[in-house]
């Protein structure tokens, strides 16, 4: 059964991922090799937006949290995969945060399905 403590760990991971993705988004837009980062910029925004949505949903105890977290996990993984094609430090940072967040979201999503 889920506890609020488990949610807190996932909320923290989503915040760190939103932060890392938005930092990478802003940093990418300043890079010299901007053209190679087009897809990365798009996915950084997608990932930050779903993380933001998931954070609010967890704090308001959404009855749809299992599905929201599964979607968040999928988008975090896609963002990590795109980030892994690039060598910039802000892209490398994104990979770690996105993968950790995806694992926590997926694990909590599965627990939430059982709990519901």
30 interacts with a second copy by CB under 8 A: yes
Question: Do the beta carbons of residue 115 and residue 2 sit within 8 Å?
Answer: yes
Q: Which of 1, 32, 3, 23 is nearest to 98 (CA)?
A: 23
Among 2, 6, 74, 107, binds a second copy (CB under 8 A): 74
Q: Which of 25, 66, 27 is nearest to 49 (CA)?
A: 25
Residue 47 CB partners (closer than 8 Å, separation 6+):
17, 18, 21, 75, 76, 78, 79, 98
110 interacts with a second copy by CB under 8 A: no
63 interacts with a second copy by CB under 8 A: yes
Q: Which stretch binds a second copy (CB under 8 A): 17-25, 90-98, 100-108?
A: 17-25
29 interacts with a second copy by CB under 8 A: yes
User: How far apart are the C-alpha atoms of 3 and 90, rounded to whole Å?
Assistant: 33
Q: Which stretch binds a second copy (CB under 8 A): 45-53, 89-97, 99-107, 108-116?
A: 45-53
Question: Do the beta carbons of residue 105 and residue 16 sit within 8 Å?
Answer: no
Contacting residues toward a second copy, per CB under 8 A: 11, 15, 18-19, 22-23, 25-26, 29-30, 34-35, 38, 41-43, 45-46, 48-50, 52-53, 55-57, 59-64, 67-68, 71, 74-75, 78
């Amino acid at each position: 059964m889920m506890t609020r403590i488990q949610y807190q760990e996932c909320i923290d991971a989503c915040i760190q991922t939103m932060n890392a993705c938005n930092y990478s988004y802003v940093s990418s837009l300043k890079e010299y090799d901007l053209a190679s980062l087009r897809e990365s910029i798009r996915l950084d925004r997608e990932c930050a937006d779903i993380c933001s949505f998931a954070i609010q949903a967890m704090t308001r105890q959404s009855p749809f949290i299992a599905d929201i977290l599964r979607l968040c996990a999928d988008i975090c993984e896609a963002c990590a995969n795109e980030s892994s094609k690039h060598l910039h430090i802000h892209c490398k940072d994104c990979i770690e945060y996105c993968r950790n967040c995806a694992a926590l979201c997926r694990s909590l999503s599965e627990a939430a399905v059982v709990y519901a």
